[in-house]
Structure 1
């Protein structure tokens, strides 16, 4: 009897029931994005590895991507995310486009990660971006698109919340602690890992990174101050805009939200299921004002978020 050839580890087969769920999610993301005037687009599924090296971070490029040498000797990767492709596409037609640009996409992506509940090596992802406006009100619009989706699939604020923070606010707090600029990426990654590590191990890791005990104590004070947003004009305006858009009840400030990717420069946000057992983000994003210059474009402000279909699919099935 011949051996059965199994699917590649971390991929999924979509039987009619799973296909129905995938199409349901696609329909809801389309409705949410187009309701705010966003246009659908897409990019290549295979990209040069150099596209991600500049801004996506070493871990994504070296450890989490499906990278190979093609027959022409070029190193390419199955796309692990879309924002760098978007930046290149915008830069190529920057002189022709009318700004602000509001684009969205829903397509397949690949990351070489350990498959587990809420994580697959092959997944579909919703991407929503606005480029050409640098304001808290633009950030609020993106968050409102995400909140509108949550509402449309039946997730109330009692079931799902969007947590926001601001990188510039945190940088000013880090300045006050004497944490030098060269340590900021390490510290933001440290904050990202806080809920994933035991407190004693997290403390030890912080000291290994070069923080003093006084800096570590100060950092803990910052991460426990949920009124800190009131010191930020950007976040004050953000919450006012969210109230005007009718989605403020979905949004809370959390100084522990510090997304680890290099290109976020202002407001950052992540949505979580607050009542279920799955502790993974539903979606996340932020402002990435420095991105276009790295792909040959003129400086341009941007804000966006991405949502994979795996986590939201599990939540909806529960």
Structure 2
């Protein structure tokens, strides 16, 4: 026997039960986004490497992107994120678009990372963006969409928190401790890793980036100040607006949140479980320069992204995922032989025309085997159509949950099945 070919490392197979979770999550994403007036959109899976090289930061492009040369000699990448594609699409059709834009998307992405718990090389990501507004109301609205999703799937602020900061405010704070503008990108990368490295390694890393020991110790002291947000009008207003929106309980200030990508310019945030057992659930913020950097007119934007891997772990841990049967079939019609093929398929066709979900068992096997199949699939109703039923012009309807069984005329099949399903 030939050896089974394995899947590519870091990818996932979505069998029906895993696909059922993804569909459940997608339905919540869509419902929440549409409640806030956001429209669904999509971008290509492949983009030119140039798009990411200019917009996403060196680490994402050089260390994490799947990059290859196409047959025409151009360097292209499997998309590691969506915001640069958003900027490109807006720049290309700016005159035809009606600002402000409220867009959302859910699709596959790829990053060449080491697969581990909470991290895969291929993942699905929810992106929510609002473009064409510089107001903090827009920032608070988009962040509130994230909070509303967490609430929608059954999580609470006692289990998950969205930690908020401001890149603009942090620029002022790091300048106050003597870190010049040239070294601020390095300082932000350092802040982004403060909880990911041991302090000795963090200090060594900071010195390699060009910061002095005194600057590093001052930076640590600044990061321990959890009340400094009160000195930021921007953050004060943000928190006030979330109160108006009814989502304030989800948000807290955290000076360690700066986001690793280079294009953020204002309010930034990340959601994590309260016990810090997992990676960030979602993250985002304000980006003022992205669209102009791909050749378009300056358009301010704000948005976030949430991957499906961590949110599934969180949802499982807090037991908010309902029992989801991947089989959505409502009725199984049995097959007894060549003489029942016509009648079985006719009944199934009539039921489908009445918006019911129906399977016909494909093979002629014992009734016991067909009933066992329906039971294992979680199909609640079986329509038995054997020689005796055909001769009598009726069918036998068996309810697998209750065990009840009754014979009814063919003309009443749809009516009877509907009544049973409505009573469940």
Normalising to structure 2: TM-score of the pair? 0.74
Query: How far apart in 2 are the matches of 1:242 and 1:134?
Result: 16
- 2:289 maps to 290
Secondary structure in structure 1 of the residue aligned to 2:95: coil
Tell me, yes or no, if the aligned pair for 2:203 and 2:213 is still in contact at 8 Å. no
- How far off its partner does 1:252 sit? 0.1
Secondary structure in structure 2 of the residue aligned to 1:272: strand
RCO higher in structure (CA 8 A, sep ≥6):
1
User: Unpaired runs of 5+ in structure 2?
Assistant: 318-424
- 1:98 maps to 98
Tell me the alpha carbon deviations over residues 159-207 of structure 1, each in whole angstroms, 9 at most, x when there is no partner: 0000000011011111111211111111111111111111122122222
* 4+ aligned runs moved over 3 Å, structure 1: none
Secondary structure in structure 2 of the residue aligned to 1:6: coil
Alpha-carbon spacing, 1:217–1:276, altered in 2? closer, same or farther (3 Å): closer
- How far off its partner does 1:101 sit? 0.4
Tell me the alpha carbon deviations over residues 70-111 of structure 1, each in whole angstroms, 9 at most, x when there is no partner: 111111111111100000111111112111100000001111
Q: How does 1:145-164 map to 2 (within 5 A)?
A: 145-164=145-164
Q: How does 1:179-190 map to 2 (within 5 A)?
A: 179-190=179-190
- How far off its partner does 1:251 sit? 0.1
User: Unpaired runs of 5+ in structure 1?
Assistant: none
- How far off its partner does 1:316 sit? 1.3
Q: How does 1:23-38 map to 2 (within 5 A)?
A: 23-38=23-38
Query: How far apart in 2 are the matches of 1:200 and 1:60?
Result: 25
Tell me, yes or no, if the aligned pair for 1:242 and 1:248 is still in contact at 8 Å. yes
- 1:215 maps to 215
- 2:41 maps to 41
- 1:227 maps to 227
Tell me, yes or no, if the aligned pair for 1:292 and 1:300 is still in contact at 8 Å. yes
Secondary structure in structure 2 of the residue aligned to 1:195: coil
Query: How far apart in 2 are the matches of 1:60 and 1:275?
Result: 27
- 1:313 maps to 312
Secondary structure in structure 1 of the residue aligned to 2:281: strand
Q: How does 1:135-214 map to 2 (within 5 A)?
A: 135-214=135-214
1:21 maps to 2:21: yes
Tell me, yes or no, if the aligned pair for 1:185 and 1:260 is still in contact at 8 Å. no
Tell me the alpha carbon deviations over residues 271-300 of structure 1, each in whole angstroms, 9 at most, x when there is no partner: 00113632x000000101010111111111
Between stretches 211-220 and 189-198, larger displacement belongs to 211-220
- 2:261 maps to 261
Query: How far apart in 2 are the matches of 1:283 and 1:112?
Result: 19
Tell me the alpha carbon deviations over residues 248-281 of structure 1, each in whole angstroms, 9 at most, x when there is no partner: 0000000000111010000100000113632x00
- 1:111 maps to 111
Instruction: Tell me the number of residue pairs that the alignment of Structure 1 and Structure 2 aligns.
Output: 317
Secondary structure in structure 2 of the residue aligned to 1:252: strand
Secondary structure in structure 2 of the residue aligned to 1:54: helix
Larger Rg: 2
Query: How far apart in 2 are the matches of 1:308 and 1:150?
Result: 13
Query: How far apart in 2 are the matches of 1:208 and 1:56?
Result: 22
Query: How far apart in 1 are the matches of 2:254 and 2:277?
Result: 20
Tell me the alpha carbon deviations over residues 121-156 of structure 1, each in whole angstroms, 9 at most, x when there is no partner: 101000000001002111100110000000011110
Normalising to structure 1: TM-score of the pair? 0.98
Secondary structure in structure 2 of the residue aligned to 1:312: helix
Query: How far apart in 2 are the matches of 1:256 and 1:62?
Result: 25
Coordinate RMSD, CA, aligned: 1.0
Tell me the alpha carbon deviations over residues 7-42 of structure 1, each in whole angstroms, 9 at most, x when there is no partner: 000000011110011011111111111110000000
Query: How far apart in 2 are the matches of 1:180 and 1:273?
Result: 34
Secondary structure in structure 2 of the residue aligned to 1:306: strand
Tell me, yes or no, if the aligned pair for 1:103 and 1:129 is still in contact at 8 Å. yes
- 2:133 maps to 133
Secondary structure in structure 1 of the residue aligned to 2:195: helix
Between stretches 205-214 and 146-155, larger displacement belongs to 205-214
Tell me, yes or no, if the aligned pair for 2:129 and 2:142 is still in contact at 8 Å. yes
- How far off its partner does 1:216 sit? 1.6
Secondary structure in structure 2 of the residue aligned to 1:80: coil
